[in-house]
Structures are given as C-alpha cells and as structure tokens.
Structure 1
C-alpha cells in the first residue's frame, strides 16, 4: 500500500514567507534597540539658574570700632644758661700775614725750584732716546736706532715663528696685536695680546718672551719705561 502526503501538512509550502516575516521582525527589533534613548530625571528647578536679583538683599552688620588717639609727645624746652657778666671771654686775635715794608725778601738762590715731573712710561715713537736692540749699537741717529729696532724685531719674529699645529688643523688664522713694555733695566714685561684665538695669542706671547735684554730708553736724560706695539699675522698657505 503506497502512502500519500497531505498537501495541507507540507511544512515547506510557505517557508519563504515565514523567513521574510521573521527577518523583518528581527530587523525591526534591532532598529528599536539601537534607537532607544534614555534620559536622566530633570528637576523642576536648577540651582545654577537662580536669578540673584530675586534673592533678598543681604544686610551687612554695622560694627563700631574705637579709635585710640596717639599719646601727645612732651617736648622739653632746651636749657638756656646765662653767663655771668663778670666772666671775661678772651677774644682770638687774627694776625695779618700780608707782606709790608718790614717783610724780608728772600734771595733768588734760596728759592727751591720743583723739578719737572718726568713721564715714567712713553711710547717708542715719542721717546727722546729709543731703546737699543742688540746689534743696533753702531747707529748714531735716533731715526736710525728706531729703524734698526724695527728691522731686528722683524728678524726675531721670522726666526722664532712656528705655526701651531692645532691652529693649522682647525684652520685658525688672523692678526694678533701685541703690546709690551721695555723696562728701565732693559727687560721685557707687561705683554698684552689681542687675537682671534687663544692658540694664536699663546704663540705670539712665546715669540715675544724670547726677546733679548735691551738698552733702556731715556727721556730727559733719565731711564723710562718704553712701550712698543706690533702685529703678528698668522696666515695659512
């Protein structure tokens, strides 16, 4: 005997319809869940929005303060002492020191003349007798002594000149201005330098420190300190 299905009991007949209906219900429920909003409870009044003009005016209490008056200062009058009439006061007599006919006149030879102050330090350009560099003793004129001094100074610099290796490595070059003093005993002191770098200044100071002792300069026949200024130029080849 062959079995037959009842077409009314077929579950697959409206399965597509049920599927779309279910999907619609699920999407609608999801949309409601996403769009659902909740709000906090709001009170009928807000403290921050209260208008101050509606509040009653605040009464400031009135206080009474007692002011203490400063104590009066008692000023004692100075004591005045009255001298007796019988007391004798000696008056100081000022004698006149102006010359008159009885004043003795000193002799001219008895008057001491103050010596003219000599300048203790002077430039080699303005000194009367310039310092003598060893080797310039045969010069007879002052112009010749100064020219010989300059020439011997240049020879001394060329002979003792050494370009510092650190300066060469760093590419240092420039002009070092030097000023030193030839003392009354012919020694060199008070060396002052100004240059672009300390390394170049140290080399210039070493060269000047090797100068020989010289014959000191003179002004008015007396030995004086003489200043001399010269430049040393450091230039890389």
Structure 2
C-alpha cells in the first residue's frame, strides 16, 4: 500500500522562503552589531596629587672660602749700583745721495751682450727621430712616412742597380748580402754613403746608385732640422 504525502507538508517547497528569512536575520544581526555603541571605562575620582612639594628641595646656602696664599718677601735691595760706561764707538752710516747735478758727468757702464749658445743636436737615428725625413711623394703620419721612405729606397735600388753585374764578376751562385748606410743632412741631401759588399765593383755600383737618390725634406728633432742616419740591407742573387 503506497503512502501518499500531502504536498503542503513537503518542506522542500519552502526552501527559498527559509533562505530569504535567514539572509534577512543575518543582515539584521550584522546591522545591530555595527550600530551598537561602546563607552570608555571610567574610574572613580582618585583625588588631586600635589607634586610640587616632592620636587622642592632644601638647598643649603654655602659660602666659598678662598685659600690664603702665603706672601713672598720682596728681593733684597742691592747695596750698590754700578754704572758701566759704554765705550764702544758706533759708526754712523752715511747714505750718499743719488741725485746728480747738471755739471756732473754721468758714467754709463757699457752693456755687454752675451751671445746665446745655440744647442747643437747630433745626428739622430731614423728609428727614433721625432719627425722623419720625407721622401718626395710620401704623405701621412710619422709611421706611414717611415714605411713609405723605406719602400721608396728599396724600389730605387732595385730599379737603378745593375742586376747582371754579380754574374759578370764570377761570384759563386747564391744569395749575397749588401749593407748600405747613409745620412740625410740638415738640408735633405744624401751624404756619408757607406757600404759592405762581396766585391769592390759591387760596392762602387751601390754608392753610385745611392747618390742618385732625390733630395729629401730633412728630419726634425725638437723642432730643428737635424741629420738622420739610415741603414738598410739588400740581397743579391747570383746565378
């Protein structure tokens, strides 16, 4: 037998109403808690405490007593005062007047001019010269001028030197070293040519070739033109 339940007695039908009533109660409790007033706790009257009496102190009046210094007796009076006579004579300094009269001759000492000694700078090596000599056609900074100078000298030697001369002299086949040194003087001229070669004729040929170098712009040390020493080796191949 199935038991039939009355729909009005089913509480699930009133769940929304119960939830709304719960929300209204919660809001009311929260509002009442916020609006509740509180007061500071008060205590009974403890009376007035007078602190001035405790702060006041009896300061006794004292008098400063200065210590009594013992009096020292004055030094005894000398029996006799001796007067010492000053026998040293003082020489008076006479200041001569520098004013001259029209009748007096004024002697003017002769002023001797001292000639300045010109600083002599000796010849400087090509490697340490401040401003290197400039081969005609070379430009750039100091290092570029150095490289250009060496390149131009080598090309000049290769172009002017008689390459067939070592073979004509009957030298043994192989490489032959030739050392050349010269100086670019203060005027840019090539002077003091010296060489070491395996044969006297080669030596003469080398000197003749180096004398054909063009005039250079002289090197400068401390702003003054100086002689510059330059040296370079060459290799000759004898077949």
Normalization by structure 2: what TM-score? 0.47
| Greater radius of gyration (CA) | 2
